[in-house]
């Protein structure tokens, strides 16, 4: 049983999850790589796309393709209604109060940049402070660092322990009158740690500080309720939750979004334009300049429909079973060290093998048809904490199987035999 705060409690019994049935939804999984059946364990980088989502994107391109919000003609109205329909699906998926609180962006990177820029240019000035955690992805560090440089503000870091858990007691000492934002990931892509967002938000709010959650890895794995989490911003990448690349969302509380500066200037985000000055549209349009990734966002809506059609508790329990099984088996291989041993973890398993470079592990596993990621995972401070240059990372989705974990373990054993 894992308890991920009140509203995200999920019972962990993998029973009843028909993984073979679910795999049929994902055409990409049936192929062979280097003459071996593909074992796709790089879901934290990009999850695969089910046929029903592929078909929805194709239908848009085949029957509805046109620009949105501009045309009075039939096709434009159909495209607009599909695009806005996707926004409403996002709203329900994360339980936002209103659809206008959901801004479409290309992904998490653009989402964090949007908030850092649009919130930061309005509210952050010299001497102010932004808190990020030590386990953040670069996407939730660099935009804040750029903002700090521009405004003369200071980046502060909430540390983690050697299990890869945030040291929450340090947060109270970091928070203060100068703090303008706490920006923290829901699930670490490099460690798998699930962070206690509700508690972080409660602590930050005592100081009147808003909280941005990088939900790139949270949205695919956890049921979401932004109202219950009480975060101020929640950022999502569609391609990590079974949707096409180019889709994503920034959720923001309306009262904050309304006060923020626009991000990009251009068409669709204005109310009036003269050479003297422009006035801006209401949210969400204020933040959606230019023609958006219409097909991708409609695809995100279809991916949400797909996720809603599954038993997500059973899916999550299945992922946890895979994580536990793989952790046990990896731990029994001499020379293997798991990086990230938090008590609350999602299905991300990072490790190093003594005296073997992670890229060599990745290459040998690829020869066996197994896709993992090797590198710093855009989280160099995490590597610095654990004094490694890189790790191998296997990340599981609900369509992975125990048989695939066995393949991974045989592959690792082979690496140890040959190079260890």
**Cβ atoms of residues 374 and 361 within 8 Å:** yes
CB 397 within 8 A of CB 15: no
Nearer to ligand C6P, 128 or 136 (CB): 136
Confirm if 193 and 386 have CB atoms less than 8 A apart.
no
- Looking at the DSSP assignment, which residues form a beta bridge with residue 246? none
Shortest distance, position 136 Cβ to ligand C6P, whole Å: 7
Residue 233 CB, shortest distance to ligand C6P, in Å, is 13
Angle CA 48–53–55, to nearest 5: 125
Min separation Cβ 347 and ligand C6P, Å: 13
Smaller CB separation from ligand C6P, 66 or 380: 380
Q: What's the min distance (Å) between Cβ of 47 and ligand C6P?
A: 11
Q: Which of 108, 148, 231, 378 is catalytic?
A: 378
Binding site for ligand C6P (CB under 6 A): 44-45, 107-109, 137, 139-140, 185, 189, 214, 216-217, 237, 373, 377-378
Choice between 179 and 188, CB closer to ligand C6P: 188
CA distance 77 to 66: 9
Where does residue 332 rank: exposed (0-12), middle (13-18), buried (19+ CB within 10 A)?
A: exposed
Nearest CB to ligand C6P, comparing residues 146 and 378:
378
In the complex with ligand C6P, the residue whose CB is nearer, 254 or 388, is: 388
Catalytic (active site) residue 378: yes
Give the nearer residue to ligand C6P in terms of CB position, either 89 or 377.
377
* Rg of the chain over all Cα atoms, to the nearest angstrom: 22
Residue among 8 and 139 whose Cβ is closer to ligand C6P: 139
| Nearest distance in Å: CB 109, ligand C6P | 3
Q: With beta carbons less than 8 A apart as the criterion, state whether 349 and 44 touch.
A: no
Tokens standing for residue 322: 């895979």
CB of 407 to ligand C6P, least distance (A): 20
What is the closest distance, in whole angstroms, from the C-beta atom of residue 210 to ligand C6P in the complex? Answer: 18
Residues forming the active site = 378
């Amino acid at each position: 049983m894992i308890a991920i705060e009140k509203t995200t409690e999920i019972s962990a019994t993998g029973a009843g999850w028909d993984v073979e049935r679910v795999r049929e939804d994902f055409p990409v999984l049936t192929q062979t790589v280097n003459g071996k059946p593909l074992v796709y364990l790089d879901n934290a980088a990009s999850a695969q796309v089910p046929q029903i989502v592929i078909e929805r994107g194709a239908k848009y391109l085949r029957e509805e393709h046109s620009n949105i919000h501009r045309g009075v003609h039939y096709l434009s109205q159909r495209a607009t209604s599909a695009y806005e329909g996707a926004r409403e699906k996002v709203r329900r998926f994360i339980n936002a109060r209103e659809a206008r609180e959901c801004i479409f962006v290309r992904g998490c990177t653009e989402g964090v940049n949007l908030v850092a820029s649009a919130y930061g240019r309005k509210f952050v000035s010299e001497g102010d402070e932004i808190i990020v955690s030590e386990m953040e992805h670069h996407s939730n560090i660099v935009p804040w660092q750029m903002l700090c440089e521009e405004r003369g503000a200071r980046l502060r870091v909430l540390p983690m322990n050697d299990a890869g858990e945030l040291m929450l007691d340090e947060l109270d000492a970091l928070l203060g009158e100068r703090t303008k934002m706490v920006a923290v990931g829901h699930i670490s892509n490099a460690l798998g740690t699930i962070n206690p967002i509700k508690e972080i938000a409660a602590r930050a709010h005592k100081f009147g500080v808003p909280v941005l959650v990088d939900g790139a890895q949270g949205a695919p794995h956890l049921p979401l309720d932004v109202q219950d989490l009480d975060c101020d911003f929640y950022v999502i990448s569609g391609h990590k939750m079974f949707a096409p690349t180019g889709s994503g969302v920034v959720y923001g509380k309306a009262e904050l979004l309304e006060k923020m500066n626009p991000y990009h200037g251009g068409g669709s985000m204005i109310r009036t334009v003269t050479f003297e000055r422009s006035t801006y549209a209401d949210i969400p349009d204020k933040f959606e300049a230019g023609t958006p990734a219409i097909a991708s966002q409609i695809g995100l809506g279809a991916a949400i429909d797909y996720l809603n059609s599954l038993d997500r508790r059973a899916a999550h329990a299945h992922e946890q079973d895979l994580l536990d099984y793989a952790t046990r088996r990896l731990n029994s291989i001499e020379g293997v060290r798991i990086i990230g041993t938090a008590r609350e973890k999602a299905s991300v398993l990072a490790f190093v093998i003594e005296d073997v470079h992670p890229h060599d592990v990745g290459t040998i596993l690829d020869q066996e048809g197994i896709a993992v990621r090797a590198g710093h995972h855009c989280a160099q401070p995490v590597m610095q904490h654990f004094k490694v240059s890189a790790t191998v990372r296997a990340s599981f989705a609900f369509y992975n199987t125990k048989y695939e974990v066995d393949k991974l373990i045989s592959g690792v054993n082979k690496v140890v035999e040959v190079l260890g």
